[in-house]
Amino acid sequence: MSTETVDTLIIGGGLSGIYAASLLARKNRSFVVLEARERLGGRILSPEHQGLFSDLGPSWYWPAIHPKMAQLIQTLGLKGYRQFEEGMGRFQSSNGAVQTVSGYPTEPPSWRLEGGMMAIILKLCEEIPENAIRLNHPVCNIEKKGSEALVSVGELEKDPWVQFKAKEVILALPPRLAASTILFHPDLPANLTQAMLKIGTWMAGHAKVTALYEKPFWRQAKLSGQAFSQHGPMGELHDASNNEQGPYGLTGFVGIPAAQRSNQQLLTEAIISQLALIYGQAAAQPTILYYTDWAREKFTATQLDQPPMYAHPLYHPPANQTSFWDNIIHFAGTETANQHGGYLEGALTAAERAVQNNH
């Protein structure tokens, strides 16, 4: 089995990990990104259909309150556009009845990104050497060896596929996931492990749906696409279209808890029926329907993430520690941010802090 030596090892190829990698690349530092999945992006997932990139993970940013995101998008030469909110909204009461109501404009205004949020990942990767990113590399073990860390890739209880020796490690994945899937030697202090396990992973209990159509029939009916339902299965819906051109989309969050979402086919049928009830019969025939249940993604969620989150948690570094093992391991990832935790802005903030703490 081979052992590779590197200055900095980044575990996780979501926004926080890839942004940290781009910052290290600008400093001409040696690093490797280990991503467990066969793709980059983490909770950013933007499949493409006829030029429309549907965000099945985070889909909005707020320039008025997220300056790092706004600045990064501008620096990378990407283009944002306002969330479509023109027209009336729809409301479905608990008995299934649907009525037209006033729209619910977001405050501050929500923005989407041309090319989907994946465009940020792809642009940042242009600054990162190709051989520095390793896909299908799940980390199972991290051992402190003097002033370095020995990181093993593979499955728990089995011999590792490959090992990396690093002066520093950036943990760019949710703390709860790290505590649940990685063995640390020596054991982490109990209070730190407990703190990591208690930090809920944002979006990990959610399922998200996007339905695409050739025509924006809801806009033609003077509807914004925005809808809220007490009946389900969809609890909240929004327009998810391209910037001023087709195809057009409706997207939203499934309001049913993760434990009750085991039969995807039945759920999909119920979702299409509900879309037709809310927006009319044209909504029953999407060109394509995407469904992603983050609670069933083993590289996002753990069993602890099954219960739904009803409010946005106040995130902070676990046990107020941004590093451990004498500054060998640094926390990144949006759940460890002091501000804007859970948002893409928090992912950038935590990555910057981890790189600054990096010797």
Tell me the pLDDT tens digit for each residue of 318-332.
999 999 999 999 999
Residues 140 and 250 in one domain: no
Tell me: do 317 and 327 sit in the same domain: yes
Has residue 302 been placed in a domain?
no
Give yes or no: residues 229 and 102 share one domain: yes
Beta strands in the chain (DSSP E): 3-11, 31-34, 48-49, 52-53, 80-82, 88-92, 98-101, 111-113, 133-134, 139-145, 148-153, 162-171, 183-185, 207-213, 223-229, 234-239, 248-254, 288-293, 323-324, 329-331
Considering only CA atoms, which of 47, 72, 52 is closest in space to residue 61? 72
**Does residue 274 share a domain with residue 330?**
no
CATH code, domain with 137: 3.50.50.60
Answer whether residue 73 is part of any domain: no
Q: Is the pLDDT of residue 236 over 80?
A: yes
CA distances (Å), origin 241, targets 31, 58, 96, 113, 117 = 38, 15, 26, 11, 14
Is pLDDT above 70 for 359? no
pLDDT tens digit sequence for 46-91: 999 999 999 999 999 999 999 999 999 999 999 999 999 999 999 9
Q: Look at residue 349 in the predicted model and tell me its pLDDT.
A: 98
Question: From CA 82, how far away is CA 103, in angstroms rounded?
Answer: 15
Asked if 215 and 106 sit in the same domain, the reply is yes
Residue 101: give the domain boundaries: 46-66+82-115+205-296
Is 7 a domain residue?
yes
pLDDT > 70: percent of the chain: 100
Strand partners for 41: 14
Number of domains forming the structure of the chain: 2
Please check whether residue 164 is in contact with residue 3, taking contact to mean a CB–CB distance below 8 angstroms. Answer: yes
Contact 16, 341 (CB under 8 A): no
State the pLDDT at residue 323.
97
What CATH number does residue 252 fall under?
Answer: 3.90.660.10
Shared domain check, 284 and 167: no
193 and 213 together in one domain: no
- Which of 296, 328, 347 delimits the end of a domain? 296
Instruction: Tell me, yes or no, whether 328 lies in a domain.
Output: yes
User: Are the beta carbons of 347 and 19 closer than 8 angstroms?
Assistant: yes
190 and 163 assigned to the same domain: yes
Of 296, 317, 347, which one is at a domain's C-terminal end? Answer: 296
Q: Is residue 91 part of a domain?
A: yes
The predicted-structure confidence for 243-288, as pLDDT tens digits, reads as follows: 888 999 999 999 999 999 999 999 999 999 999 999 999 999 999 9
Same domain, 174 and 318: yes
